Structure 1
Amino acid sequence: MAKWGEGDPRWIVEERADATNVNNWHWTERDATNWSSDKLKSLLLGLSVENDEGMCEVTDVGKVEGEASINNRKGKLIFFYEWNLKATWTGKSKAGIKYKGSIEVPNLSDENDMDDLDISITLNKDEPDTTLITLMKTKGAEKIREALGSYVGFLKTEFTQGMILPTANGMAKPQSSQSKAKVDKTQISAGSTATPSNAGVKIPTCKFSMKETFLTSPADLFRVFINQEMVQAFTHSQAMVDGERGGRFRLLDGNVLGEFAELVPEQKIVMKWRYNTWPCEHYATIALTFFDLGNETELKVECRGVPENEEERTKQGWQRYYFESIKQTFGYGARIY
């Protein structure tokens, strides 16, 4: 063993208090599986295409099987990912006829170039023939390919933060990435509004509550939050809402997403809720409690786990995009005494 201050400089750790992977020489690995699963779902859910015949949308991502990881060796990042995806798309013709079909991507991996990705889109067997299947196989497949390319791009930028550590002389080596897959121009989606954030980093959070009164019954107000058509009406945009316990939602052009953790009809809704610009996998807990005041309903909103620097934005968002918009859209404005 070399004496202190002698020998291979890769092992000299006196300039780092934690003695962690000096000069980025040792092999380190970060598991990106859970992050990837959430990211893939958020990128695919709500994707839509439209033409003169009607509109199609990805309404559910039922299967995300696989794994992903990133390895750091000598300051170079090596990416591994392998996924099998299955999703559901729904279509609606201009005549109001609804259709449902399936999407399957069996080979999303670092072994395959994005241009060679196999995207299988089918119409369910019990559905009548429709030209919307052609729309999904062309424009729909193109958007899906772009979304999956964006996932690879985010994996190589957003999730890798902090993997290349400062060297013993205080300088950080450049994060040159290495992967079997070629870099595709669709890796960064022009349509994405997501902002890179630190995954797995603890952030200071806060809690607060809000109250609002609506001129309607608890049953009607409860329905506003879990019915997809009503959500689309008051947000004035496409939304995906699965109004049951464990169901996911995505609204305001993908800027808000989450999951229904608890549903007590006419009484309470508990959601895992987040803006898409928050740190990855960080959700606040939003509890809505409905109080029957006779001709009116008092809604109490309790928010826990909101990032401290997002408190005012979250309050204003709920006031503007939920409270005020619901009242204006459905005429639920409370009486003024």
Structure 2
Amino acid sequence: MVVNNPNNWHWVDKNCLDWARRYFDEHLVGLKTAERDGKRAEITSVSSMEGDCEVSQRKGKVISLFDLKLVMMVSGHVGDEKFEGSITVPEVAFDSEKDDYQFDISIYKETGKLSEIKPVIKEELLPQLRDTFYGFGPDLLKTHANDIQVPADQVNSQFTKGNLQSGPASSGAKGKPAQAASKTVTSKTEVATSSTSGAPKYNTTTLHLEPTFNVPAIELYQTFIDKQRIQAWSRSPLQSSSSKSVLEKGDEITLFGGNITSKLVELEAGKRLVFEWRLNDWRQGHYSRMAMEFHESKEYHETKLQVTWSGVPIGEEDKAKGNFMDYYVRSIKLTFGFGAVL
């Protein structure tokens, strides 16, 4: 990053969101519990990360400002029974203390037996996560602080030089000095690849949603591919590339007066659906990828819908998430009685 900032006086920002994604991929994936009475859990991936992450400087002072939400996928076993699930952290912020982090643990297809893994995760895995999140701020400053300042030998102002020598002003850990990162994470800008060759690109992010429905998985699955059901919960006419009553691979539909276009690209009965999905006002040719996995807990008579939604343009996250929860999840529950509506 080239800086033209005489005496490090002016405000300079550096967006570090892509670097943060790579940092957490490297530092979180692989964290695990010990084998304990036949129980074990491990972080397998970072499913999504939303929010802001910047390093800034003015008058020689360097600060980090970040507020992130992360969802991590977890898997393991309880005895001979395997499980998958997720751990959601609603807020990892620049001013968070180690005890401030909150965790939402979700076990897919949960049973009484599988629920026994939650205390193990809380006792052994969450402390490792707290340490990683608490160390993120210092590592962020250590890696990027020098990128937004001119070297000290080019600074004539004694005021800003004094600030520069005093080190970074703040980090994700209050009062904690910047420490060397245990690993180097290379930043790289991520842009969406459109399904149409030569189409404009967006900087994109991935959303992770987990609504729960009080219905068997196969019934919920049919609700997303049966055209009559789709028209019922969308409360709008459906235009389709096929005349068949049920969506098949490759079929494309438009909903909500043409505001949404959705193409089915993968399906596995009762288990998985993948759509290419776009809002009409997105740039021509740009599609996101909405992957749905259906996890049914027969013991609890419910199905958790795991939605991994990649390719959502940055800045559109709240709109996309809100529309999905209102016009898909809420509407399906109201139309078919598949669960409580909050």
TM norm structure 2: 0.46
The answer to which structure, 1 or 2, has the higher relative contact order (CA under 8 A, 6+ apart) is 2
